[in-house]
Amino acid sequence: MKLGRKTPEVELGKRVDEFHRPPTRFERLREWLERQPKVRLFAVLTVITWVALTALIGLGPRPPIERLIAQGIMEQGDLAQLESRGLFLATNPWTVLLGVGLVVATEMGIAWYFLERFGRRVLKTKAAIRITLAVLLMILFTALARFFIALDFNPYLTPLAGLSILGTMLLGPRLMFLMVVVTSVNVGIIGGNDFLLTAALLLGAGFAIYAVIRANSQQKLLKAGFFIALVMGAVTFAVGLIGGATLPDAFWQGVLGLGNGVLSLMLAMVLLPLLENAFNILTPMKLLELSNPSNQLLHKLLQKAPGTFTHSMQVGNLSEYAAERIRADALLARVGAYYHDVGKLEHPAYFVENQIGQVNPHNTLSPALSARIIKRHVKDGLEIGYAWGLPQEILDIIAQHHGTTRIEYFYRKALENALDGETVRESDFRYSSGRPKSKEAGIVMVADSVEATVKSLAKPTPKRVEDIIADTIRNKIEDGQFDDCQLTMREIHEVGEAIREALIGFLGPRIEYPDAHSEADSSSKSDKSGKAGKPKPAGTVN
């Protein structure tokens, strides 16, 4: 070997700096949170929540609504008159704090039991980060309610529905319902033990959970916010009537409820992109942002590995169609497929789809080394995805899209090249990043294998496509690739059927246009014979 020439191992050890960046402050914070012991972290968060909520709710309380009714002052609503009568002075702040502290402690106990009982379903991933975000949202919206009431704003303007919108999209509806119930009770206490205020906020915020649970675009979120505002207006109008208000007063309270819904939507739309990026939690809005082909990482994939980019887009379309068939998360399947091969950015020339007009570098490598290079794109993809802040759900698809399958071509080549007595270890030719665990990862695995195989056919026909899909699914089932996956056998076959329909539709019939040389030859022959025919219009078929 000549001096200065690098072996393939040395070349593969290089890092491409443009695909990596140092972690941000939020990423370092998330790493720190995930490293903490779970029990200790949850205990610290519980104490912080208890102290913060007790202080926000218990300091400077307003008189209870029962006292207002008993003294005949509720109709006047004059807080200055309350102060002149010494009602605030009659309230012992220490006993109030004690009572509030006991109520908040009870709420924390219920939350602990809820998470102990349903935590695995509610907090599927990133438990530490999600609990931290839940605590932050509860404290934030309780402080906002305290701020509104301290400035003598009408308490029915408290935008608690904004907590529902944010929490449902970031944390899910189950955990959000518990948070809404607790926060509604706390805001009612802040507002003077106003049960009607608690009821109005609870009903409006509860409806908000239902309204935004399927909002996967800004347009749908705006539409959901419009309905939330209408429901808040109707609920606060009804609560005004229940409280004995006249129709004009109740109508004005309904207008305030309408403003509550609008304010909640505005607050949620401002905070949502900030919180989803800070805590790296996947939302439909984040998926839409990642699916944009102008996304910087996808743009780099197009520039550096155009064949891989085209393959990823096609796999994304197939995955989305198949996910819709079995009612999985179609948007997650599509976006996960877009990024599943992003690790090929490191060494694109070693993958056949990027070798247009180039010599295949595997021709000079041993099968074992070629397999190592091919397998490495999964590890590189995880590193690149992590460096670019891709959500965990996308990283899981990157890691699991090959499962533990065998790199068949190089394994067979190694068997053919093996000398007498030489052992070929199958483990050297298998991926080792784990089998698919989610439905979306399983769908991407099937779509990836089928698309790559069909693309290698010179003349794909519907029958050949159907046979390839059937063989792919059968081989992966026999190899145990779906053993850890949430897909049922029925869903696996429905995925195959959906991919078959989509592929046949994508392939379709194509017109074979004559090349320039054949046209010139036929033209010269026609000129020589003097029998030149009329050219066929574009679109005709022989």
- Quick one: which of 239, 141, 255 has its CA closest to 199? 239
Are 141 and 46 in contact by the 8 Å Cβ rule? The answer is no
Return the beta strands (E) in 321-414 as ranges. none
Q: What is the C-alpha R_g of the chain?
A: 32
Domain ranges (residues) in the chain? 25-281, 286-507
pTM of the model: 0.77
CATH number for region 286-507: 1.10.3210
pLDDT of residue 514: 60
Count of residues making up the chain? 542
Residue type for 110, please? Answer: I
**C-beta neighbour count of 157 within 10 angstroms:** 16
Say whether 86 sits in a helix, a strand or coil: coil
Name the 3-class secondary structure at 426: helix
In this structure, what token pair is assigned to residue 145? 């309610």
Cα distance between residue 365 and residue 369, in whole Å:
6
pLDDT in 10s for each residue of the chain, 542 residues: 333 334 333 344 444 445 556 667 777 888 888 888 888 888 899 999 999 999 998 876 555 544 444 334 444 445 555 455 554 444 577 888 888 899 999 999 998 888 888 877 777 778 888 899 999 999 999 999 999 888 888 888 999 999 999 999 998 888 899 999 999 999 988 888 888 899 999 999 999 999 998 887 888 889 999 999 999 999 999 998 988 888 888 899 899 999 999 999 999 999 998 998 888 888 888 898 899 888 889 999 999 999 999 999 999 999 999 999 999 999 999 999 999 999 999 889 999 888 877 788 888 888 999 999 999 999 999 999 988 889 889 999 999 999 999 998 899 898 888 777 778 888 889 998 889 999 999 999 999 999 999 988 888 888 999 999 999 999 999 999 999 988 999 999 999 999 999 988 776 655 555 654 544 454 444 444 444 444 443 333 34
